[in-house]
Amino acid sequence: MAAHNEAGEKGEKWALEHLREKGYEILDTNWRFGKAEIDIIARTGHYLCFVEVKLRANNWAGEPYQFVGRQKQQLLIRAADRYIRRFGAEKDEARFDVVSIIHNNEYTRIEHLENAFYPML
**Structure confidence by residue, pLDDT tens digits, 77-104:** 999 999 999 998 778 899 999 999 999 9
Please tell me whether residue 30 adopts helix, strand or coil conformation: strand
Give residues with Cβ within 8 angstroms of 5, minimum separation 6: none
Strand partners, 41: 28, 50
Domains in the chain (CATH in brackets) are 3-90 (3.40.1350.10)
- pTM attached to this predicted model: 0.91
Instruction: Report the distance separating Cα 93 and Cα 52, nearest Å.
Output: 17
Tell me the average pLDDT across 107-117.
Answer: 95
